[in-house]
Chains A and B, each alone.
Chain A
Amino acid sequence: MSNVTGKSHPELAADFNKDEPRVDWHDETLWWVRAKRDIAAHKLPEWELLRETASQIKHNVLSNLYTYLQQFEANAQKNGVVVHWAADAAEHNQIVHKLLSDKGINRMVKSKSMLTEECHLNEYLKEHGIDVIDSDLGERIVQLAGEPPSHIVLPCIHKKKEEIGDIFHEHLGSAKGESDPKILTETARQHLREVFLTRRAALTGVNFAVAETGEFVICTNEGNADMGAHLAEIHIASMGFEKIIPERKHLGVFLRLLTRSATGQPITTYSSHFKKPQEGREIHIVIVDNGRSIQLGREDFRNSLKCIRCGACMNTCPVYRKSGGHSYHTAIAGPIGSILAPNLDMKKYADLPFASTLCGSCSNVCPVKINIHEQLYAWRQVIVKEGYSPASKTAAMKAMAFTLSSPVLYRSAGKMGRVVFKYAPFAVNNKLNPWYKHREMPKAPEQSFGEWYSKRKEGQN
């Protein structure tokens, strides 16, 4: 979602942190999901082998993308599916709009698709008089709240059940003050059933597209993708071009990894395969680039296209857990979003690669072994070189580099005020000294180790 506030990650995260009990709740909820993932992963002794295999399969895909995409297109067409290609978000949205307007359809049901978030499809269709209802429960909640999802798997993880109760009361007529998840889910189910039965068009995402067969697979826990797609006369599937896998047997690897990484479940409740349209119905696939080929060409960052959108890197990321998904002001939040977003707009997302301690937990939890934290480090270098770093920071870094390159300067600066006070990371922005807001400064000792050591040497002589 675009950064409507114009605020950067540190500012948005600071806003989020004003309510500490909420931060604790958010952090604990996601940590609980991460813990469930750990239990599920540790039940499979072959887990690390699976990760390596998945990573290698995707490596092969990225190296032969053109071939696999062509193969997929040909097979899908043979199955009677119409394939469209979209260079960017605008083209994707136009294609979807045209498919609907050609049939005179002005209401569509949509299951969860982060790609359509990336393309801002809902807003676009709304502007063109088409009503879109998100059928994934979490997506529907944020849609009713007028917010973007804050997590790619758990779109409304930032909302407490009481808040959801209020939204349902306002929009779906549930009782005031009702916050029992069971009752709220039932309310949503009734409401969505009506939607499924009356919409003529359904849009879904794609989790995996199999080149060998031209089929595609959608994973949901609520069965909402199936419900929409099976009842509608036209099913549109939007997929980023990296969703391709070579063969059907590879699904065995990815389906085992995906949900274990995402929520700790052994498999999603519904892994639905779509291959051919039913009699008298249509299936369309829109294959989207939207910056992906640029990322493919950036050697240091191309691995990010292996992502299967499980969200594990978000759940494990201490920064995500304590700053909330919306602080990333992009459709895909968290560690993976922070390496995808600068590819789309380096200036707008220059803050994101810095929203990390480089702890490396993301890279090691990632089921396809994306070296996320190394890419964050690499983006920082690119962003600085491209000039998207504050001038004051550059000046401080130059002074620091100059001092630290000279033993004499270093020692005298150290004596003068313990060099680190002057130039150290935590004192770079010394006007406001953000370190001091919640932390005491280290106490400076009388002498440095270097000074102690020379004295000891003298004593020995």
Chain B
Amino acid sequence: MKVALFVPCYVDQFYPKAAIATLELLEKLGVEVHYPKNQTCCGQPMANSGYEHLTTGCNNLFIDNFIGYDYIVCPSGSCTLHIKEHLHSPEQEEKAVDIRKRVYELTEFLVDVLKVDNLKARFPYKVGLHNSCHGLRGLRISQMSELVAPAFSKPAQLLDMVEGLELVPLSRNDDCCGFGGTFCVVEEAVSSKMGIDRVDDHIEHGAQYITSADLSCLMHLEGILRRQKSDVKVIHVAEILNHYSNE
């Protein structure tokens, strides 16, 4: 199995630790991981702002980098969803279609493809799980509260395998955090308020860490936590799953 690691631009630049954890975790699980070094961005920031027509360059670059692998794994639900739904190329649409079928968010890859049922991980803290909307409703890595259907959560299923970790319940299990790409600056007032309310829900339930399969949400929540000088930290789910501590 040849797996390519897709590290979104903001993860590459700001949260390399999450990408390192993803890589190490996959290697621990016996996966041969390649990192195509010319990758940049999935194009989502432009597309969600209404400039999908400017993403041709990004799309073609993505195809050149990621064609030919069995799977493409990414530690971000949002970017994975963007590729799945919007990767197109007038010149090489067949390749685009192929890639769209092979791209996986990390937790869905671990659960659905690798079928991981135990992990050597220990993280003895109270953790709040933030469901990112793109992971939840877009990729369906968890069940959303709007639908009448049995509940499940791939990230929670994995976190349950971690020794010492206690998932805290939340009042609103899947409310959006308000990041939303350019939304967070265009609609600064609402975006911040949404983030503050998300953070409060976790804090009120005693979370020491907020985790998620999406770093874009965590980047937003982290910005709010740090402004509030809170002790609560954000951590990508890969970092927890790859973590072993004897504390």
Contact = CB atoms under 8 A, between A and B. Distances in A.
A405 B13 CA distance: 16
B156 interface: no
Interface stretch (B88-96, B113-121, B191-199): B191-199
Interface stretch (A44-52, A117-125, A131-139, A162-170): A44-52
- Secondary structure at chain A's binding surface: helix, strand, loop or mixed? helix
A48 to B, nearest CB: 6
Nearest to A41: B148
Contacts of B103: none
B50 A381 contact: yes
Contact of A384 (B40, B51, B174, B179): B51
Given A10-B188, A322-B190, A420-B10, A401 B223 contact: no
Given A424-B10, A442-B14, A354 B40 contact: no
A397 interface: yes
Contacts of B219: 442
A41 B147 CA distance: 9
Interface centre among A437, A440, A450, A452 (most CB of B within 10 A): A450
Interface centre among A385, A424, A445 (most CB of B within 10 A): A424
Interface string A395-407: 0011011101111
A389 B50 CA distance: 9
A428 B185 contact: yes
B48 A414 contact: no
A93 B137 CA distance: 42
A348 B83 CA distance: 32
Interface string A373-409: 0000100110111000100011001101110111100
Interface in A402-438: 402, 404-407, 410, 414, 418-420, 424-429, 433-435, 437-438
B152 interface: no
Nearest to B172: A31
A360 B109 CA distance: 22
Contacts of A389: 50
A197 interface: no
Contacts of B183: 354, 356-358
Contacts of A439: 192, 195, 220, 223-224, 226-227
Interface string B82-108: 000000000000000000000000000
Contact of A448 (B16, B175, B224): B16
A365 interface: yes
Nearest to A362: B146
Contacts, number: 230
A4 interface: no
B20 A17 contact: no
Given A319-B190, A418-B14, A448-B12, A435 B137 contact: no
Contact of B193 (A322, A381, A401): A322
B9 A449 contact: no
A447 interface: yes
Interface centre among B14, B38, B133 (most CB of A within 10 A): B14
Nearest to A350: B50
A394 B145 CA distance: 37
Nearest to B223: A439
B140 to A, nearest CB: 10
A448 B190 contact: no
B176 A361 contact: yes
Given A361-B176, A407-B40, A401 B137 contact: no
B13 to A, nearest CB: 5
A244 to B, nearest CB: 27
A38 interface: yes
Interface string B35-53: 1011111010111111111
6 contacts: A47-B148, A354-B182, A355-B187, A359-B133, A410-B40, A414-B12
